[in-house]
Each structure stands twice: as C-alpha cells, then as structure tokens.
Amino acid sequence: MDSISYKTKYANKQSVNKQWVVVDASFQPLGRFASQLAYLIRGKHKPDFTPHVDGGDHVIVLNADKIALSGNKSVKKTYTTYSGYPGGLKRATLQEVQAISPRRVIERAVKGMLPKNRLGRRLFHNLHVCQGDIHPYAAQKPTPITLKY
C-alpha cells in the first residue's frame, strides 16, 4: 500500500489574490451589514483563507448615509471616546455621529468585528466608505456585489 502525503497549502502575501468589490449600504441593517463586510475584508469567503494573512478584498461601501437602523438605536446607542486626560470623556448618540459623518458609523461597526491586533489594523485599511453613489476608486475596476443575509 502506497502512502500518499498531502501537504496543506497556506496563502502568503505573494499568493493572495486581492480584488476590489462595491457594496451598496442602502436600507441594509447596520449590524448584519457590518458583519458581512468584516467577513469579506478578512477573506473568509475564499477557499485559501489563512488566519494570519491579509487575504481579503478591498470593499467600497456606497450610500453610507442610507443605512437602516432598527428600533430606536439612533437615540439610545452611544459612542464613547476618551482622550486620556481628566474630563476627556466624550459621548455622542448614533444620530449625532451620523449627522457629522455617516461613514464613521459603518467604520466603527466593522472595526469592532475585526481582530484586535496588528493584522486587524492592517485589514481595516481595506474598507473604503463613501457617503453617496460616487466613489474615487474607478481605476481599480471594482465588481459590484449584493450581500444577502
């Protein structure tokens, strides 16, 4: 009987095939949408997923200002930041943050779903959020996809 040895192949920086995709955030629930974006950015949808390699796609999100929120999250959900100084604690509701910059709501939701290490910080650079229908990444020839949950 012949012994066949199979060797597991891991993706590395040179063998990864990164693509650019466009996703529309119009009327998508924030949490479900963010988890699907994190899945794409991490590269878990690819057959050669390797946990320690940046193998995900670049994701362009359009219409960040039209994201859907269920219940009364826009009033009750708060974002907290701390400068490190006494009295430097700032709180803002989701509605206030969305009025200033709708991009931050999606960015913060996705960032919370990525790993909390150097790789997670690197993966976050693969997320590109735009407020309207137009994006400046046409030169990369992104493919539009629809997310379903």
Q: Do residues 106 and 64 make contact, with C-beta atoms less than 8 angstroms apart?
A: yes
Task: Give me 42's structure tokens.
Answer: 């991490």
pLDDT per residue rounded down to tens, the chain (149 residues): 567 778 888 888 898 999 999 999 999 999 999 999 999 999 999 998 999 999 999 999 999 999 999 999 999 999 999 999 999 999 999 999 999 999 999 999 999 999 999 999 999 999 999 999 999 999 999 999 998 76
Looking at residue 124, what DSSP letter applies?
Answer: G
Domain ranges of the chain: 20-68+101-144
Query: Residue 21: enclosing H or E segment and its boundaries?
Result: strand 20-24
Q: What is the pTM of this model?
A: 0.90
Map residue 90 onto helix, strand or coil: strand
CATH, domain range 20-68+101-144? 3.90.1180.10
Q: Do residues 144 and 62 make contact, with C-beta atoms less than 8 angstroms apart?
A: no
